[in-house]
Structure 1
Amino acid sequence: MFKNAAVISLATMLAVSPAFAQEEAQSEGQASEEAQPEEQASPEASSEAVPTSDAVVPEQEQPEMRADWITGATIMSTSGERIGPIQDIMIDSESGQVTAAIVGVGGFLGIGTKQIAVAWDQLQIDYDGQEVQMDLTREEAEAAPEYVFRERQQPPAPEPATDGMGTGTGGESTGGMGTGTGTTATGGTSGMATGGEATGGGANGGEATSN
């Protein structure tokens, strides 16, 4: 009887142990999953703490075109003549506005081509630069003078640094010579001082000189 009770008790322990271990593993896994959102929240919090500068433009607006959409586009006349490709654009440094387009005219395979400038506001640009027209004939473009570019300015050279020491010439100071006459308190003798040299009469009629 005791033997059967021991066998039943052992069987019960073996049956309960896997279930207990499974519940413990599930509880540990659930605790780790609950801890993950707290760890992932810190990078988001740090990124939101960085302010965005007003100088940063987030996206391209509808009227805006990229420069490489324009450079390389071919200008056509209103009658369908090919004028030439846009090779460059000119920008006003003060207003920031595009003022002219540089167009390559004439030549063959890039040889003998000259560059002329046409006013930017005279161009009709459609479909983000895929169609560009202007009221200019091919004959007028070939007769136009070649555009003259100026030399690019260089920044001014920095001024030499000074160490704060100045050079000057001072006037020469010369001491004057004074002449005075004094009277001694005893003997009734008188002396004369000239330029720091004192000469006085002696008590017995002799001459005394002191420097």
Structure 2
Amino acid sequence: MNGFVEQHAEQVRLAAERIHGRVRRTPTLTTDLDAEVRLKPECFQVTGSFKPRGAFNAILSLVARGDRPPGVIAVSSGNHAQAVALAASTVGLPALILIPEDANPAKVAATRALGAEVIQEGITFANREQRLREVMAERGFVLVHPFDDWDVIHGQGTAVRFLLHESVSVSVIAGLIVILAGILLVNLRRVPRRETAVERDSAAA
């Protein structure tokens, strides 16, 4: 386990260097509810969520390896879509996003405004994975998965890296599973102990 944690915590460190200047260092806030609770408001991040951390790390890593595909592709209802669109445009790669027809129109518009091609017609939550495979085969685009991708996980872990540098002890973490995975890798390396991750029971992941 120690070797596993060390390996991936180091990748989070490298991810922080890689995405430096591409994402914001969001503030750490306290709350009147509990003096020991710290909030990391990633709503202040570019595109309004933590997702650009993972998208930038994945796409910049892809380019750094010399793998420059015809484009990148993702499936998302909004936040990951915007993150991939932004990161891809930064390095000059076309981005194609499959977004379900019932997605938030504002997020769809924002994704298009960031330069991505969006396919919505006929896309549902149930069939989007199948359509994804079909479009990937047609165009040869590389998938940037929203959570099942180590480069994405390492990028999301950078959210807590600065928090820990501020001497904040983290033992209970609440958030989406992909950011929790990255955070736990960093925190376990710093303080080897049992961690508790909390996610709402309605979360898709």
TM-score (norm 1): 0.16
Larger CA Rg, structure 1 vs 2: 1
Larger relative contact order (CA 8 Å, sep ≥ 6): 2
TM-score (norm 2): 0.16
